[in-house]
């Protein structure tokens, strides 16, 4: 295990004050064509696919550690850096990237609350200049299996009172599923319920409001919380929020319901 201290979100106002701090590097995970049209000044474009890998059946698996480290080193990332991840609206690309870095015990990762949409709406400074940095020295030499769970582990604990399974898909997606709907006994918590909606962007709800919502749904801190969606991005965001709220034992079903539907529908 790599420790439980997690700070996940930074506001646009906070980021404005941090931009002159060389320890902070802004990584833009949007599509490259969008990045070229305008990005937060000083941002480094990152291909979000580096954090996603599938097995021969098309299910998500842990990406190769050396491949990620080498790619980020080419982008100039160092061990002491604090990474600010930026995406379009809901930070889903950033969420799976942050979870993957957590898995490799790099936790100096924060997401821009409100994402690029809020930054742009507030008319903050944008640039089309692409910066080049010297090669970094990032090392990813550890892994934290305590934040990951496999289908076999789920089957072993499916009836355990110590485990709470949380489905982060929409009710519509669950109803449309023709082969079982969800993992038996799962609590429903749609990932979009994390947000307050504004005209052009979404921000994470206040901590006290989220704590109350989790209580209502029976998602308790003294249990092992298993989050899942179709294929991980939505549940990776829920994982990050729960960790920031102080939940000590949260695990991501990385292969998600896509795998469960095909391989475990009989449970």
103-124 average pLDDT score: 96
Which comes out higher in pLDDT, residue 28 or 173? 28
Give SS3 for 247. Answer: coil
Question: Residue 176: what pLDDT?
Answer: 67
CA dist list (Å): 18 to 10, 94, 114, 214: 10, 19, 17, 32
201-210 average pLDDT score: 95
Q: What is the pTM assigned to this prediction?
A: 0.94
pLDDT, averaged across the chain? 93
Q: What would the pLDDT profile of 123-180 be if each residue is shown by its tens digit? A: 999 999 999 999 999 999 999 999 999 999 999 999 999 999 999 998 877 776 655 5
CA dist list (Å): 70 to 41, 91, 96, 194: 24, 24, 18, 33
Above 70 in pLDDT, residue 6?
Answer: no
CA distance 35 to 44: 9
Alpha carbon 149 to its chain centroid, in Å, reads: 16
Domains and CATH numbers, the chain: 9-127 (3.40.250.10), 145-263 (3.40.250.10)
Question: Residue 181: what pLDDT?
Answer: 75
Question: Residue 115: what pLDDT?
Answer: 96
Question: Residue 7: what pLDDT?
Answer: 78
Question: Residue 232: what pLDDT?
Answer: 86
Which comes out higher in pLDDT, residue 172 or 208? 208
Question: Residue 261: what pLDDT?
Answer: 85
pLDDT-derived band at 267, boundaries 50, 70, 90: very low
CB atoms within 10 A of CB 58: 11
Question: Residue 2: what pLDDT?
Answer: 73
Above 50 in pLDDT, residue 35?
Answer: yes
CA distance 213 to 192: 13
Paired sense of beta strands 60-61 and 53-54, if any: antiparallel
CA dist list (Å): 47 to 27, 61, 195, 248: 10, 18, 25, 30
């Amino acid at each position: 295990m790599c420790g439980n201290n997690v700070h996940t979100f930074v506001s646009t106002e906070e980021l404005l004050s941090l931009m002159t701090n060389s320890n902070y590097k802004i990584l833009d995970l949007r599509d490259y064509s969008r990045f070229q049209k305008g990005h937060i000044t000083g941002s480094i474009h990152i291909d979000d696919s580096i954090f996603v890998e599938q097995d021969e059946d098309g299910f998500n698996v842990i990406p190769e550690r050396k491949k990620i480290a080498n790619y980020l080193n080419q982008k100039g990332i160092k061990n002491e850096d604090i990474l600010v991840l930026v995406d379009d609206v809901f930070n889903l690309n950033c969420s799976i990237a942050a979870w993957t870095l957590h898995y490799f015990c790099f936790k100096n990762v924060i997401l821009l609350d409100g994402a690029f949409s809020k930054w742009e709406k507030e008319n903050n400074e944008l640039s089309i200049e692409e910066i080049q940095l010297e090669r970094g020295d990032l090392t990813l030499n550890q892994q934290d299996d305590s934040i990951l769970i496999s289908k076999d582990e789920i089957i072993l604990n499916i009836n355990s009172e110590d485990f709470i399974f949380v489905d982060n898909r929409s009710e519509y997606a669950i109803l449309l599923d023709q082969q079982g709907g969800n993992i038996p006994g799962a609590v429903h918590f749609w990932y979009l319920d994390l947000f307050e909606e504004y005209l052009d962007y979404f921000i994470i709800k206040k901590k006290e409001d989220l704590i109350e919502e989790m209580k209502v749904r029976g998602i308790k801190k003294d249990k092992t919380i298993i989050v899942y969606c179709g294929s991980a991005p939505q549940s990776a965001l829920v994982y990050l929020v729960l960790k920031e709220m102080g939940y000590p034992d949260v695990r991501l079903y990385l292969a998600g319901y896509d795998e469960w539907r095909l391989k475990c529908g009989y449970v």
